[in-house]
Amino acid sequence: MNGAESLVRTLVDGGVEVCFANPGTSEMHFVGALDRVPGMRCVLGLFEGVCSGAADGYYRMKDKPASTLLHLGPGLANAAANLHNAKKAGSGVVNIVGEHALYHIKYDTPLTADIEGIAKPFSHWVKTSPTSKTVALDGARAIQAARVAPGQIATLILPADTAWTEADGPAVTPATPAPPAPDKDAVVAAAKALSTGKSAMLFLGGRALRARGLELAGKIAARTGCRVQAAGGTARIERGAGRVQVLRLHFVVETALEMLKGTRDMVLVGAKAPAAFFAYPGKPSVLTPKDCAVHALCGVDGDPLATLEALAAELGALNEAPTGVAAPKRPDKPTGAFTLDGLGAALGATLPEGAIVIDESVTTGRGFFPFSAGAPPHDWLNNMGGSIGFGAPVAVGTAVACPDRKTVVMIGDGSAMYTIQALWTMARESLDVCVLIFSNRSYKILYSQLSDVGAANPGPRAIDMLTLDRPTLDFVGMAKSMGVPGAHVHDLEELTRQLTFAMGQKGPYLIDVVM
């Protein structure tokens, strides 16, 4: 058994059963080992950013890491933007990055790079295997690192000679330490702060936004009268009929300030204190009111569900009926010209039970939440890191993770072009994904950002940097060329008709919403 095979066997034995891959010459022994080792599903991506985004989506739905297989430093660099998003989301990923044979690195051939240097900003754990005898143990430790709460990026660099040289066999993955138990004194202090009623806010992120966490938050709100608020960036919210409703903090500073207005005590569970996405002249970076006391009860690396259980128990709220539970209700199917509310209503009217919604609609989808609050239970995933080109790759990962559930991904046309290759993987793997492209022919969010940052009175050359015409992008044509059927829609009737069709059939389908 060579080092590559010992690594693949270690990954499978350690519960890493999917590899999103874009391999090259230095990874061929790993690729060869896939034929000798049962249990590893290998999914090919035509761009490394598709592989890293898919691993992010897989973790968000399975709560266990997948691996990527990347080619040397440039391959890792191509994956970096979506590794950044995965890191911000708390997703566990095991990256396997090929390297030249150790004796070959000194010749500084074209693909030689500082792979550890590239990996460190986007990884929590980085290691280069020094010999074939250590590859399996290094892989086991990478799995262990990826499982650290809430999930971490582990990058194992595999020199080609350590992959092809004889190894001893697979290694056992060590147990991952559990996150710390809730601090009793902090729980008592938080309970006291929340008991002040509507001037108090329970501010949630991470796994606190799963159905059980929201139920507990609703019980706490029923007991204390506090408000419940989700962070602006959320890796996964379990929502829909029968679940406690919660709104995300708005991207626009003025709207976010209004949402937090009057808060005197804020208790953080699985979230950081709210801050503006960017700096804007004359606007605050810190979004909490000046007289608000912030209580950091559970950090992003803690155990939000155990913390909420302890908090509800301290308040005597475990037997309370939660407030804010969404009743089953769908909006009527909308008609007429496109409006933002109409788009939200079309989604809410057609979303199937168990759907996984991935939201990279940036500008268009900000107001969609109310229209799907009473739709059948579903999950909603957002971009935590802000690097665009997130949506379609994450949809690949969620569809691999949950093949019995419909994935719906909403993407702006500018964002879609970053990782359009994901459509090919959807077709190749017959993934059950409905892709919605909101084609407003521009980077529309940047129009408002020009004003917000004080870059007023833009001229024609500035505006030209924000438009996506000359030529117009044909997303249906591009999808067809990669094996994904689709249709253009020009009004809300056409949209609801196409959504109904897409939700009722299996496999990938693209709808180009021409706005």
Residue 248 CB contacts under 8 Å (≥ 6 apart), including other chains: 230, 231, 232, 233, 234, 237, 369, 382
| β-pair partners for 19 | 42, 67
**Rg of the Cα trace of the chain?**
24
Residue 174 CB contacts under 8 Å (≥ 6 apart), including other chains: 140, 141, 144
Closest CA to 393 of 367, 426, 363: 426
pLDDT over 70 for what percent of the chain?
95
At residue 342, does pLDDT exceed 90?
Answer: yes
Q: What is the arithmetic mean of pLDDT over 213-223?
A: 98
Q: What is the arithmetic mean of pLDDT over 228-249?
A: 96
CA distance 109 to 86: 31
CA distance 502 to 505: 6
CA distance 340 to 327: 23
Secondary structure (3-state) at 18: strand
Q: Which strands, in side-by-side order, build the sheet including 66-70?
A: 41-44, 18-21, 66-70, 93-99, 153-159, 125-128
pLDDT over 90 for what percent of the chain?
91
Cβ–Cβ contacts within 10 Å for residue 135, how many?
28
Are the C-beta atoms of residues 405 and 62 closer than 8 Å to each other? no
Q: Which strands, in side-by-side order, build the sheet including 265-269?
A: 227-230, 200-204, 265-269, 293-298
Q: Where are the beta strands (DSSP E) in 346-462?
A: 356-360, 378-382, 407-412, 433-439
Closest CA to 99 of 123, 136, 135: 135
- Amino acid in the structure at residue 301: D
Q: Which domains, and CATH codes, for the chain?
A: 3-164 (3.40.50.970), 184-315 (3.40.50.1220), 340-514 (3.40.50.970)
**Enclosing H/E stretch for 215:** helix 211-224
Going by the DSSP 8-state scheme, the letter that residue 392 receives in this structure is H
Terminal-to-terminal C-alpha distance of the chain: 57
Residue 488 CB contacts under 8 Å (≥ 6 apart), including other chains: 476, 512, 514
Peptide bond preceding 471: is omega within 30 degrees of 0, i.e. cis? yes
pLDDT at 493: 97
Q: Which residue has the tokens 């626009």?
A: 252
Closest CA to 372 of 328, 324, 432: 328
pTM of structure? 0.95
User: If DSSP states are collapsed to H, E and C, what string results for 296-356?
Assistant: EEECCCCCHHHHHHHHHHHHCCCCCCCCCECCCCCCCCCCCCCCHHHHHHHHHHHCCCCCE
Q: pLDDT digit string (tens) for 440-449? A: 865 555 555 6
**Please, which pLDDT band fits residue 156 given cuts at 50, 70 and 90?**
very high
Q: pLDDT digit string (tens) for 273-317? A: 999 999 999 999 999 999 999 999 999 999 999 999 999 999 999
CA distance 298 to 137: 32
pLDDT at 326: 98
**Please, which pLDDT band fits residue 78 given cuts at 50, 70 and 90?**
very high
Q: Rounded to 5 degrees, what are φ and ψ at 448?
A: -70, -35
What is the average pLDDT score of the chain?
95
**Please, which pLDDT band fits residue 123 given cuts at 50, 70 and 90?**
very high
Cβ–Cβ contacts within 10 Å for residue 240, how many?
25
pLDDT at 44: 98
